[in-house]
Structure 1
Amino acid sequence: MTSPVVPSARAWVEHAIWWHVYPLGAVGAPVREPDHDPEPHRLRRLIPWLDHVVALGANGVLLGPVFASSTHGYDTTDYFRVDPRLGTEQDLDALLAAARDRGVRVLMDGVFHHVGAEHPLVAQVLAEGRDGPRASWVAVDWDAPGGPRTADFEGHRALVKLNHDEPAVADLVVDVMTHWLDRGIDGWRLDAAYAVPPAFWARVLPHVRERHPGAWVVGEVIHGDYAAIVRESGMDSITQYPLWKATWSSLRDRNFYELDWALQRHAELLDVFLPQTFVGNHDVTRIATQVGGEAAVLALVVLMTVGGVPSVYYGDEVGATGLKEDREGGDDVVRPALPDTPPDPAAPGQEVLHAHQALIALRRRHPWLVTARTTADELTNERYRYTATSADGTQRLQVELDVTGAPRAVVRDGDRVLYAWG
């Protein structure tokens, strides 16, 4: 069993557990209507939640988009400006400073496959024409019927594809990434990285790391040859969507064979890099909706006992529900506003929060789990027992998942029960 080689400057990520939050939704900013608050300063609403992050046992915040945009944050209009609906640069500085004070790392969401149709660059390119100085910055069909037509992202006309063969676009992305790393963030999530040629990242990332060797970079990849993409792009990690899917569908459909197969594939990836693992994010139906509240804790057991760099999507830690729909605004329900204050763990009905705290604490006590491999000890449709083993083979935990009746899970160290649910 081999372990991925993590550069020493980025070895901190081996102890990272992220709390993933979608800022525009979390702070209650208007997404599709005008903002009538002249001085929102909404980003500061996240500062009290940093203590919740620490109390949860996590030590990182994965921020969704914070740059100026037209609507949902992924239609960027200015990479160097904080979205006015969130506040000002001073508000972001205050959030970063508060995170540093608590030992909490921060990732930003970099949307570099496309820009919003209202980005000034798009208007400039179209106005200057095919021979203009920036004509090659954006993907445009200059001979399209009816006039020039910009390429889009997966049919969304409001998202205009950048031309990743243009060196100036690579320079722009380097400038954006280093600018915010200079300001104090710790790394980047690269949105829609699967839709960008790996060679583009291979041109960009060495320049970023010349100035910030400790910056950790995770790409959003939903399909493909994960190991090859990491090797060819130079990214540190990519999102482990196959394991996410296998986790919830195995629980929902009572078919642990799918999860076992995914974990076998997961072990192969762990030979190359540390995948970013999750059971919820801003783009998918909530895990408690997908499998039910009781079984959602079993998904968390898997997340916290297998290799990778895990993240918890905000609200999942208190059992939030929400069904993503394939329509305009269909993501809003899984991107809700946070309450004014974090939950009180001592209040009644916080069993899911307690489960998160206990399982994150278990992972903290067994840091070798970041590179652990799993082997099946018992496998049926409705029962799955596996052993998580350290990369050097010296440490083990036994995990039991059972959905023959009410969902049940047990984590053991030999004969000693470390955690039980159900």
Structure 2
Amino acid sequence: MSTEPSWVRHAIWWHVYPLGFTGAEPNARPEIVHRLGQLASWFDYAVRLGASGLALGPVFAAETHGYDTVDHYRIDPRLGDAGDFDRLVHTAHEHGLKVLLDGVFNHVARSFTRPELLGRGTFEGHDHLITLDHDAPATREYVTDVMCHWLDRGADGWRLDAAYATPRPFWADVLARVRRRHPDAYLVGEVIHGDYAATVAETGMHAVTQYELWKAIWSSLNDRNLFELAWALKRHASYLDSFVPFTFVGNHDVTRIATRLTDQRLLPHALAVLFTVAGTPAVYYGDEQAFRGVKEDRAGGDDAVRPAFPEEPGGLAPWGAPTFRLHQDLIGLRRRNPWLHEARTTATELTNTAAVLDTTNGTERLTTVLNLADAPATLPVPQGKALLGEVELRGGRAVLPAHGWAVLGQPPVR
């Protein structure tokens, strides 16, 4: 089992893309603009949401979108400088928020400041993104030093961008060194496809991103095919034998969940699954207010899902308030039940449009019931009481309205 830091068991991330959030220019500039403080003004909002951590997108000097790094030791001038970073981390910790950095160590911009570390390939056909030479000892020294440099300055962990495209022996060497110096740092890899468990076992990462579950959640709801979700949850449970995945229904690279779902009445169902199954959950900024946006595969195609927020929180948009409150309720339930972090979920009743999802660690239990149909559904459930959602309990059966959902609390398993 991956030995992640103990604090991760309680982590709920608010995931922010800083260049977009602060309204920074799309291209690099030499002048320093102190924008990181805008993030800090939203920390009370993040805490009110229920988050315990801030997962940052790229903050280091880059040519354009941040994933084309020029210098990993320098804060992007569009966001500020090292002093702004230090204040951001200090303020986050004062609010009880951990800070996760986004490390782009698979590829860099052509203007990268250490050209001797460059390899000969490009990243997925993007001519302006050059892969690092991951076989070179100097590259391993460089990445190790960069990671430790920012952990020394107060960061609590790293998301490793495009980890699936980087040789596993490279990560195994680098992360072993980082973990020796910072044993309490959380290290999670972006892995879109491939063997999740093998990646964790062979690299020293604590976790990887759970794209399988992300896809199954929205796809099963759109297709009215909860068998797909049940299959993904079975796979998800198998990963828990070796690590706890990083879970989400939205991030900076995908169409927003409120847009992806073809029936907005099923947005609560997606969130109920996210927050009642095992994992380390993240909420992508704006999703908590049901923001909409389509990710497109073209120049500028990320802009719609990486919007600017106001410099100061000015209250919730009226149309976003119900979704924000729902996030608060589900996150609150999650934080009162930290055992959910590594519990197993099984579909005990299943049709195309209805499911009873039983989540337990062998002692505690929660049951999530879903109805996707246009008519009420009656489902057999263990004895318990309704904690969230709209449901009527009738002696071992849950009656859900059309498009209804609920979370039920159960007595301890004996």
User: Which TM-score applies when normalising by structure 2?
Assistant: 0.90
Q: What do the CA deviations read for 1:162-216 (whole angstroms, capped 9, x no partner)? A: 1111111010000000000000000000000000111111100111122111011
Other-structure match for 2:357: 386
Letter in 2 for 1:416: K
Other-structure match for 2:70: 77
Q: What do the CA deviations read for 1:103-157 (whole angstroms, capped 9, x no partner)? A: 11000000000111111333xxxxxxxxxxx3xx3222xxxxxxxxxx1000001
**Whole-angstrom distance in 1 between the partners of 2:316 and 2:286:** 14
**Whole-angstrom distance in 2 between the partners of 1:200 and 1:120:** 21
2:226 aligned with 1:256: yes
2:308 aligned with 1:337: yes
Letter in 1 for 2:8: V
Other-structure match for 2:15: 20
**Is contact 1:408-1:420 (8 Å) kept?**
no
Structure 1 stretches (4+) deviating beyond 2 angstroms? 4-7, 339-349, 405-410, 412-415
Aligned-pair CA distance for 1:236: 0.3
- How does 1:311-326 map onto structure 2 within 5 Å? 311-326=282-297
Aligned-pair CA distance for 1:5: 5.1
Q: How many residues align?
A: 389
Q: What do the CA deviations read for 1:308-367 (whole angstroms, capped 9, x no partner)? A: 100000000000000101111101110000123336369675100000000000001111
Aligned-pair identity (%): 55
**Whole-angstrom distance in 1 between the partners of 2:333 and 2:352:** 27
Letter in 2 for 1:377: T
Q: Cα–Cα, structure 1 residues 47 and 176, in superposed 2: closer, same or farther, change >3 Å?
A: same
User: Which TM-score applies when normalising by structure 1?
Assistant: 0.88
> Which residue of 405, 411, 414 maps to 2:374?
405
2:273 aligned with 1:276: no
**Whole-angstrom distance in 2 between the partners of 1:42 and 1:24:** 9
**Is contact 2:224-2:353 (8 Å) kept?**
yes
Q: Cα–Cα, structure 1 residues 119 and 83, in superposed 2: closer, same or farther, change >3 Å?
A: same
Other-structure match for 1:94: 87
Other-structure match for 1:214: 184
**Is contact 1:298-1:408 (8 Å) kept?**
no
Structure 1: gaps of 5 or more residues: 123-133, 141-150
Other-structure match for 1:129: none
Superposition RMSD in Å: 2.1
Structure 2: gaps of 5 or more residues: 391-403, 405-414
Deviates more, 1:255-264 or 1:340-349: 340-349
> Which residue of 124, 128, 152 maps to 1:158?
128
**Is contact 1:398-1:414 (8 Å) kept?**
no
Other-structure match for 1:46: 39
**Whole-angstrom distance in 2 between the partners of 1:409 and 1:113:** 50
Other-structure match for 1:296: 267
Q: Cα–Cα, structure 1 residues 366 and 343, in superposed 2: closer, same or farther, change >3 Å?
A: farther
Q: Cα–Cα, structure 1 residues 191 and 325, in superposed 2: closer, same or farther, change >3 Å?
A: same
Q: What do the CA deviations read for 1:7-31 (whole angstroms, capped 9, x no partner)? A: 5xx1110110100000000000011
Other-structure match for 1:143: none
2:170 aligned with 1:190: no
**Is contact 1:319-1:352 (8 Å) kept?**
yes
**Whole-angstrom distance in 2 between the partners of 1:207 and 1:409:** 54
**Whole-angstrom distance in 2 between the partners of 1:179 and 1:39:** 21
SS of residue matched to 2:213: helix
